[in-house]
């Protein structure tokens, strides 16, 4: 089935960049047009959330004389990643199953300067009257056994289209630059590789790195608060 879409768009990449050796189930091909429409909706939901975050960041840059948000990254999950996750969890391979069972098809990662910025940004999102918070996992106060730290939210936001309004779920991950540094390198080192840490030594070393990074985050926060207590402000050049 031919679908005319912008070859440079994120949506295009999520639909057609499929390895040749992987066979796409027939049920997915039969819903190609619907899949395109739903992925467009997820992309629009990301745009809605990013706009809110940019407005809030602008407000705080004036109010507090600094930006709590350093960077915003986003992605729409690729088709084969969606299929693999549905199969891994034992769900039906269908468009309806994807929408019902997967909360992370649309994802936003917010990179903050300091640990307290994470909770401030999360609270600001929570107070938006058109955002419904579905679930929260605080891996900062309760790190994963491997040392991973981040603040995760599943939110639902209404997106207005020409003839309807659709509530769309988006996964939001909020972390500091240091947490993102560790998570990115840990992912590169281990994800989807035939890696067997027989003695657990590498995993332990990575966890120790995560702990050191967490301590550094707390020290940087303490330094900032000392500067502010003396009447100083943290600004960018």
All domains in the chain, ordered by first residue = 10-229 (3.30.460.10)
Which residues are CB-contacts of 6 (< 8 A; sequence separation ≥ 6)? 12
Instruction: With CA atoms as reference, report the closest residue to 185 among 160, 206, 202.
Output: 206
Taking the model in full, what pTM does it have? 0.83
| Residue 78 confidence (pLDDT) | 87
Alpha helix positions (H), the chain: 10-16, 26-29, 32-63, 79-88, 95-101, 115-127, 177-190, 201-229
Cβ–Cβ contacts within 10 Å for residue 73, how many?
Answer: 12
What is the band of 27 on the pLDDT scale with cuts at 50, 70, 90? low
How buried is 64 (Cβ within 10 angstroms: 0-12 exposed, 13-18 middle, 19+ buried)? middle
State residue 20's pLDDT score: 42
pLDDT of 17 higher than 50: no
């Amino acid at each position: 089935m031919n679908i005319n879409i912008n070859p440079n768009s994120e949506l295009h990449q999520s639909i057609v960049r499929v390895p040749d050796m992987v066979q796409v189930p027939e049920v997915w091909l039969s819903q190609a047009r619907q899949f395109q429409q739903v992925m467009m909706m997820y992309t629009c939901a990301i745009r809605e959330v990013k706009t809110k975050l940019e407005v809030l960041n602008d407000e705080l840059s004036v109010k507090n004389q600094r930006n709590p948000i350093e960077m915003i990254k986003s992605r729409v999950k690729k088709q084969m990643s969606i299929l693999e996750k549905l199969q891994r969890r034992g769900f039906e391979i269908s468009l309806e199953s994807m929408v019902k069972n997967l909360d992370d098809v649309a994802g936003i990662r917010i990179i903050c300067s300091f640990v307290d910025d994470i909770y401030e940004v999360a609270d600001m999102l929570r107070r938006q009257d058109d955002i419904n918070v579905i679930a929260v996992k605080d891996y900062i106060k309760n790190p994963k056994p491997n040392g991973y730290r981040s603040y995760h939210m599943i939110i639902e936001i209404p997106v207005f289209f020409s003839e309807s309004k659709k509530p769309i779920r988006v996964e939001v991950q909020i972390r500091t630059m240091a947490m993102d540094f560790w998570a990115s390198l840990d992912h590169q080192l281990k994800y989807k590789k035939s890696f067997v840490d027989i003695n657990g030594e590498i995993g332990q070393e990575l966890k120790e790195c995560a702990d050191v990074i967490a301590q550094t985050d707390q020290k940087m926060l303490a330094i900032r608060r000392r500067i502010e207590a003396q009447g100083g402000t943290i600004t960018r050049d």
